[in-house]
Amino acid sequence: SSPKASNFLRQIIEADLASGRDAGRRFAGVPGDARQLAAAPLDTARIRTRFPPEPNGYLHIGHAKSICLNFGLAQDYGGVCHLRLDDTNPEKEDEAYVQAIRDAVRWLGFDWVVGGVGHEYFASDYFDFMYRAACALIEAGLAYVDEQSPEDMRRNRGTLTEPGVNSPWRERPAAESLARFEAMRAGKHAEGSMVLRAKIDMAAPNINLRDPAIYRIKFAHHHRTGDRWCIYPMYTYAHPIEDALERITHSICTLEFEDQRPFYDWVLDKLADLGLLARPLPHQHEFARLNLTYVVTSKRKLAQLVNEGHVAGWDDPRLPTIAGLRRRGYTPGSIRLFAERIGVSKSDSWIDYATLEGALRDDLDPQAPRAMAVLDPLKLVITNWDEVMGPGMLDDCQAPVHPHHPEWGLRRFKCGRELWIERGDYAQDPPKGFFRLFPGNRVRLKYGHVIACTGATLDADGQVTEVQAMLVPDTKSGTPGADAVKVKGVITWVAAADAAPAEIRLYDRLFTEAQPDAGGRDFLAALNPNSLRRVQTWVEPGLAALPAGTSVQFERHGYFVADVRDHAPGRLVFNRTTTLRDGRGA
Ligand code: ATP
Ligand code: MG
Ligand code: MG
């Protein structure tokens, strides 16, 4: 593969490595981690990144960008990337999501087990530490329990142009805050009655520094810590601590966290001053999130599509979830290639869905076996077949499994008197420049003979129900003199006596608008009513034994995959992954 393009994150990392900034950083495992000793040899990791999903939903293509970025940078610079389940928000989290996240990261080709040590961590493992750190901040006069109502707290926060107003609880003695905080933890206070806040500056121009809340009361069951806690740390307080405990060097997040960076640094700096965290401390760097046209990438909106039945589940092939892309036929290599091509930048933009499809074609073209399939079948009868080939005879045909890999061998199939061809390959009244079948014209059956169209049968509505043609003797593809008869058109086909029946699911975009949820619009209004069309049709016989999950190129049509859920020998089901060229539909 080509050398990776540089970007601002690579430049930062290279400068940091050159400066030796992180040389003194030691990682001997996180607090309470039984694997501490085993992890010690990994102290030599030159950089340490993390991918920190919240286990509250399925990962999507945006997360894939972050996975490729964080794991990719660690790989390229002799580092380690941690898989961190950021489970500080108990209500919506679940163990099932944790498993799905692990599967998605591994499927993309990345691993958090390095040198035999599994770098999988849970934010909830640090709850004790976070609590102790909060107590230390209170004792140092850097945090206080605020008992204002949520409305007063919001109002007193000020605005972009107005400074905030100090809480009447701001100057209460540390001992009093500490006692209150302990009572909060003991479950003695109601949700919303008080919060723990960092004491910074209610007049700070950056609103995120106006005494942000760091702990709130929540009587919620946690999927890992059960009912042990009824107070939970805020993400903005928890995240820098998680990074520091894991000795992350480069904490890479999306641009919307840029305004949080001063608080990120405040937490780390204060806790390091208090001797609770070791220097050098992690640095946060922001990059532009992925916005992809014709999809939505918000867990909440994806959940709505699934829960309201607009799609068939989290792995519906129309969804940009990793599970959906996988079922659609996207390969791990295609997604990594896509991530590499879009790069990383500091300014938000939209990436055209065609870029993702282009990466898929480039990944599959050199490796997908070829086959013929008919998507919109129309019967063709070769009226002189019995005369030329012999009554009831079938003719052996062959084609390369892949045009650029002769060593992969040949596929074999039959030609016969009755074939299935594409409805679109016949025209009763051909438009100018149409070189396929129409009465009087000759075309080649790909890998077979030349045929001359003699006519067609139409039903009462003028619909073509059958096409007739005559075989031109001595024109069989691959035989001497086959090219003596010149034709301008070549069509794909399968023999009625030989083809395997299959269901083909023709997927199209889920939304009819490029930015279905831009500007807070109702994205459901932009749902494409024709995003799935199922056809019962015919494919080359060799596909009958194709294992589920295998990708194949149907010649002239595009890339398809044997559906991982529904395809089985004897019941063939293919999903269209993408067409052969840019542009929509088959
Ligand atoms: P959502 O907004 O869909 O709920 P999230 O950002 O809350 O997603 P997390 O589980 O917190 O989801 O995200 C884990 C990581 O993935 C974060 O570091 C986040 O920055 C990154 N990420 C999420 N969405 C995108 C995106 N569209 N582009 C790039 N990175 C993303
Ligand atoms: Mg999140
Ligand atoms: Mg989000």
Ligand 1 nearest-atom number relative to CA 70: 18
Note whether 419 and 430 are same-domain residues.
yes
Annotation-wise, does 47 bind a ligand? no
Note whether 518 and 563 are same-domain residues.
yes
Q: DSSP assignment of 91-102, as one string? A: GG--HHHHHHHH
Q: DSSP assignment of 365-407, as one string? A: TTTPPEE-EESSEEEEEETTHHHHH-TT--EEEEEESSTT-GG
Instruction: Establish if 48 belongs to a structural domain.
Output: no
Helix (H) or strand (E) holding 243: helix 235-245
Instruction: Establish if 307 belongs to a structural domain.
Output: yes
ipTM of the complex: 0.96
Candidate list 299, 361, 411, 505, residue with the active-site label: 299
Candidate list 10, 46, 170, 289, residue with the active-site label: 289
Note whether 393 and 511 are same-domain residues.
no
Instruction: Establish if 283 belongs to a structural domain.
Output: no
Note whether 459 and 531 are same-domain residues.
no
Q: Which of 469, 497, 525 is the last residue of a domain?
A: 497
By residue range, what is the domain housing residue 505? 288-364+499-586
Q: Which of 575, 570, 571, 452 is nearest to 504 (CA)?
A: 575
Note whether 492 and 509 are same-domain residues.
no
Instruction: Establish if 304 belongs to a structural domain.
Output: yes
Distance 254 CA to ligand 1 centre (A): 8
Mark whether 565 is an active-site residue: no
- pLDDT tier, 93 (very low <50, low <70, confident <90, very high otherwise): confident
- Residue of the CA atom closest to atom 26 of ligand 1: 62
d(CA 242, CA 322): 26
Note whether 382 and 337 are same-domain residues.
no
DSSP state of 477: T
Q: Give the global pTM.
A: 0.94
Annotation-wise, does 430 bind a ligand? no
Query: Is there a contact between 507 and 325 (Cβ–Cβ < 8 Å)?
Result: no
Mark whether 54 is an active-site residue: yes
Note whether 299 and 347 are same-domain residues.
yes
Q: Which of 446, 469, 497 is the last residue of a domain?
A: 497
Which residue out of 50, 58, 63 has the highest number of ligand 1 atoms within 8 Å of its CB and is therefore the one to mutate?
A: 63
Which residue ranges have their beta carbon within 6 Å of ligand 1? Answer: 52-54, 62-63, 65-66, 253-254, 289-290, 297-299
Annotation-wise, does 289 bind a ligand? yes
CATH number at 410 reads 2.40.240.10
Query: Is there a contact between 373 and 560 (Cβ–Cβ < 8 Å)?
Result: yes
Q: For 327-349, what is each residue's pLDDT tens digit?
A: 999 999 999 999 999 999 999 88
Note whether 490 and 506 are same-domain residues.
no
Question: What's the pLDDT at 363?
Answer: 98
Length of the chain: 586
| Tokens encoding 360 | 């898929």
Instruction: Establish if 431 belongs to a structural domain.
Output: yes
Note whether 459 and 524 are same-domain residues.
no
Q: Which of 233, 266, 298 is the last residue of a domain?
A: 233
Give the rounded percent of residues in the chain with a pLDDT score beyond 70: 97
Instruction: Establish if 294 belongs to a structural domain.
Output: yes
CA dihedral of residues 495, 496, 497, 503 (deg, nearest 10): 100
Of the CA atoms within 13 Å of residue 62, those in its CB half-sphere come to 22
Which residue out of 9, 66, 325 has the highest number of ligand 1 atoms within 8 Å of its CB and is therefore the one to mutate?
A: 66
- Percent of the chain as helix, strand, coil, to the nearest 5: 30, 25, 45
Mark whether 476 is an active-site residue: no
Q: For 505-550, what is each residue's pLDDT tens digit?
A: 999 999 999 999 988 889 999 999 999 999 999 999 999 999 999 9
Query: Is there a contact between 498 and 541 (Cβ–Cβ < 8 Å)?
Result: yes
Note whether 400 and 351 are same-domain residues.
no
- Ligand at minimal distance from the CA of 89 is 2
d(CA 359, CA 391): 48
Question: What's the pLDDT at 2?
Answer: 55
Instruction: Establish if 1 belongs to a structural domain.
Output: no
For the chain, how many structural domains are there in total? 3
> What CA–CA distances, in Å, run from 539 to 87, 231, 350, 385, 405?
47, 59, 38, 22, 22
Note whether 490 and 400 are same-domain residues.
yes
